Structure 1
């Protein structure tokens, strides 16, 4: 009887490796492929300082509108002015004009003769935006000045570019220079008027005549006259 028990114990022990081997044969290696998303790059700020200097003797310049956009023109000589530009040219209101691009920034107040103002504007990851500026000459009917779609790809960090800019006529209101139609401090007349009664297209401004030089209906004097350029613009890429 003890021999039989030993025999069965040996048989059981021999069977265990076979059972374990059989279990091993049934085990399959499963490879699960997990797609790992590429890391999202951190946005890089591209920033510019835009300095506007008033070169006139008696024309306040409205708070400049600085707009960065992808392509095209927000205004140009020979074009029909948009309502957004008309609001700047007739009353210095840039609120709607500032919505026309990818990003924008406006000045904080008028720039008086001889003064200057710096406006900072930032966009992410884009170094080839176009920069447009527009601001009104306050003691006029619809004169404005600025810069049209300047290519910012020309500037590396630390670079600056300077340009003297002339006055343009929006062509939306006759240059009557009357007390009723000039909104600036020289007359405090009407601002924006949606009715257009002039050429209807943007051109170079002919300048102010004034009452001193024979326009009897003019509310302006010789001090409000101007020669081109009327502003100096300096653009600096800061980052």
Structure 2
């Protein structure tokens, strides 16, 4: 049997899924232990015990200046910003993507501009946002919107164009107006695809958020990472990076679950 037709059994699949994580974790432990045997005060690769102690301090010790628990305050601040940015980007992209994809005049008018705008590096726009909107929340949320919305719009436009032409013709033959075609033919099929686009935008969204927080913020996960880097506090930086990764993975899993529950027909078609 060809290797492309061989599928792992459920038990073997779970083992294969966990294996890379176990190997990376084991490799880190081995290298960290070796470095600390040579230099017990090494700060580059802290031990698991040192990272656990650092995170325990961030999670359970109140900040003397703010009276808050740093890990909780940073997490809530970052989640508020990224959820706001993604919500705005999703609302803009869904409507605009469907309109541009359906209406030839709008596609001709707006798609080249959206394509060009999506090529602008969002991080290069960050100083402009700080000048225009200040260093408050608006600039950080706007950076996430600018960085993710054009990509989602372009992806949805392509998905609309891929819809079978026969569906549109049948709907028009039955007397459906453009508005009815949008609501009853296009929107139901684009909604699950919007979730896919949103999932693919999570990584860039976190990148833009961390960058904005690192430059101008008083709280947030990115702010904390760049604050403690002055002290070479890798026992805090590495766990914070892992925590951000875990949050992104949870977001992705939640979106995937929502897609499977709300659009089982789409998830079944994707598996087949």
- Structures share fold, TM-score greater than 0.5: no
TM-score of the two chains, using structure 2 as the length reference: 0.21
**Structure number with larger C-alpha Rg:** 1
Higher fraction of helix: 2
Higher fraction of strand: 1
